[in-house]
Amino acid sequence: MDHDPPVFADSFNMADHFVFANVEAGRGDKPAILFEDRVITYAEVADNVLRVAHRLLSEGLLPEQRVLLCMRDCPEFVYAWFGALKAGAVVTQINPLLPASDYRYYLDYVKPQFAFIDSASAEAFGSAAEQSRHCDACRNIIAAGEGFDAWLAGDIADDIAPWPTRKDDPAVWLFTSGTTGQSKGAVHCHFHFAYNTEVYARRFIGMREDDVTLSGPRLFFGYATGTNLMFPFAMGATTILFPEQPTAKGLFDLIARHRPTVLTNVPTLINKMLEAAGDTAPDLSSLRFMWSAGEALPRELHERWDRAFGVPIIDGIGSAESFHIYISNRPGDIRPGSLGKLVPGYEARLLDEAGQHVALGDVGTLWIGGDSAALYYHAAYAKSKEHLRGGWIVSGDKFRQDAEGYWYYEGRGDDLIKSGGIYVSPLEVENCLAQHEAVRECCVVGRKDSAGLEKPVAIVVLKTGIAPSQMLEAELIAFSRLHLARYKVPHHVLFADTALPRNDRDKIDRKMLKAQFA
């Protein structure tokens, strides 16, 4: 494996690196995107990206002005995203299925000069835009579909050229998942994305030009923007896009139709695929591997997937602050329950609360260093000082590392429970309870007892047909005692009537559960 850091020219633009380089390499006629019944080549992508760039410039876009995408997964997302970057804009993307109140926040925060939307977000986004001084009563909103085509066909000013960009110029804001407050934009420059794509996707994972990628997570999520857009485009590979919300059946149908080699997934959807498959055993033999990230992958779920399908799961962890994954399993080196090893090109520290290195095997706060670390959080000075320190990301995640170099996630620092004076990882308790035949999903939070001492409490969703009872609560607590140290055993089990709440990255919303059950 090449351990020399990749080098990028000072004059650098992401669209040139990920799109136009494929045409220059002779891949203009190769399929770049498979969408519904269409096959879209790299030459077609490049033509549309350049057209978007010229249209934005013709309408007055200035260098480093913000362009906001609020679209489902479709070719127009790709054209708008890379087109804005080619023009010299700073791009950010948000979930197209949010309420108007969330869009008001993002519009006031981003202050975009242009916004691209589609029919899924049109009503809520339009309502928010009418109340935002930054969208000038929707003047600069371009809608996907016929509206996008009509806009793209408009007049272009003569002799207009994209604003030149440098590798260190700001390019993309990736929004945090909002686990510790309102979502903030982590500001990245152009070469950050090429750096991680090279050291992680190409060198560490071994993605190839003949790969065909498919993703359950949507493109607005930086995880999927990487695995299902930038990674395949960097290799000259092919991506499959679909606009609908992902379902297990939908993914099985797309796999049968297009025979992808790489699938991007999250644990919640992995579980749904296992439930939907039943005894039918869908044919997943085309897949070389499947990514899992976004939230912790329970070992029990990993092992069930292995038994059912045998497709290797590449479990890893990254963040909006790093653009993508920096600790990961990889093909041929997978250890269920672990997040794998540090990706060459990144550095890691595990520090205690006093800022000292912890002993091997002990839990500490993870610091990650590497050349894809965000510059700062926009309009969040205190948060930037706390988490982004001169190329180091202070993640807030708690980890331990074993003697063989494998890393184990113990949860976020603010999620850990101090029971009996000892920290308890909620993930360890959740992984234990998940093995009980009655449990569909669960979350463990800290709750103070009558003496004011924090104790672990499990919130459990039961499988269909199983009714909650005091007897079942006692059974689950007894089951935990068989597998966990005494101080880790939940003091109570609370039964939820519906699925646990999740944020727009499909992570369990622990903040909401803590508020509900505190």
> From first to last of its 518 residues, what are the pLDDT tens digits of the chain?
677 899 999 999 999 999 999 999 999 999 999 999 999 999 999 999 999 999 999 999 999 999 999 999 999 999 999 999 999 999 999 999 998 989 999 999 999 999 999 999 999 998 999 888 776 544 588 888 888 999 999 888 777 899 999 999 999 999 987 644 588 999 999 999 999 999 999 999 999 999 999 999 999 999 999 999 999 999 999 999 999 999 999 999 999 999 999 999 998 899 899 999 987 889 999 999 999 998 888 888 999 999 999 999 999 999 999 999 999 999 999 999 999 999 999 999 999 989 999 999 999 999 999 999 999 999 999 999 999 999 999 988 999 999 999 999 988 877 778 775 667 888 889 989 999 999 999 999 988 877 666 789 999 999 999 999 999 999 999 999 998 878 889 999 999 998 999 887 778 888 888 888 76
What does CATH list as the number for 416-517? 3.30.300.30
Q: In what order do the strands lie in the sheet with 325-328?
A: 38-41, 31-35, 238-241, 212-215, 262-265, 289-292, 313-318, 325-328, 341-342
If you write DSSP's letter for every residue of 378-398 in order, what string do you get?
TT-HHHHHHHEETTEEEEEEE
Q: Report DSSP state, residue 489.
A: S
Nearest to 138 by CA among 70, 208, 88: 70
**Tokens for 104?**
């008001």
pLDDT of residue 314: 98
pLDDT of residue 135: 65
Cα–Cα separations (whole angstroms), residue 518 to 184, 449, 458, 499, 512: 26, 10, 12, 18, 10
pLDDT of residue 138: 44
Number of Cβ atoms within 10 Å of the Cβ of 505: 24
Q: Could you say which architecture CATH assigns to the domain 42-165? A: 3-Layer(aba) Sandwich (3.40)
Contacts of 465 (CB under 8 A, 6+ apart): none
Nearest to 87 by CA among 116, 55, 48, 43: 55
pLDDT of residue 367: 97
Cα–Cα separations (whole angstroms), residue 125 to 11, 177, 184, 185: 36, 20, 19, 19
Contacts of 232 (CB under 8 A, 6+ apart): 207, 211, 212, 213, 238, 239
| SS3 label, residue 5 | coil
Are residues 214 and 5 in contact, defined by beta-carbon separation less than 8 angstroms? no
Q: Return residue ranges of the chain for CATH 3.30.300.30.
A: 416-517
pLDDT of residue 389: 94
Sign of the Cα pseudo-torsion (115, 119, 124, 127, in order) = positive
Are residues 406 and 335 in contact, defined by beta-carbon separation less than 8 angstroms? yes
Locus of tokens 């791009």:
91
Nearest to 191 by CA among 2, 391, 384, 7: 7
Nearest to 79 by CA among 151, 165, 166, 179: 151
Cα–Cα separations (whole angstroms), residue 18 to 1, 32, 299: 22, 11, 35
Nearest to 511 by CA among 183, 102, 70, 269: 183
Number of Cβ atoms within 10 Å of the Cβ of 435: 14
Are residues 354 and 421 in contact, defined by beta-carbon separation less than 8 angstroms? no
| SS3 label, residue 206 | coil
Q: Interhelix angle for 248-258 vs 267-277, to 10°?
A: 80
Are residues 68 and 185 in contact, defined by beta-carbon separation less than 8 angstroms? no
Q: Dihedral angle at the C-alpha atoms of 40, 96, 151, 21, nearest 10 degrees?
A: -40
Are residues 479 and 438 in contact, defined by beta-carbon separation less than 8 angstroms? no
Q: In what order do the strands lie in the sheet with 90-93?
A: 141-143, 114-117, 66-70, 90-93, 170-175, 185-189
Are residues 377 and 184 in contact, defined by beta-carbon separation less than 8 angstroms? yes
Q: Return residue ranges of the chain for CATH 3.40.50.980.
A: 42-165
Contacts of 90 (CB under 8 A, 6+ apart): 64, 65, 66, 67, 170, 171, 172, 173, 187
Q: How far apart are CA 256 and CA 281, in angstroms?
A: 12
Q: Report DSSP state, residue 312.
A: P
Q: Report the phi/psi class of residue 281: left, alpha or beta, with left for phi > 0 and alpha for psi in -120 to 50.
A: left
Locus of tokens 């003697």:
403
Are residues 481 and 458 in contact, defined by beta-carbon separation less than 8 angstroms? no
Q: Report DSSP state, residue 56.
A: H
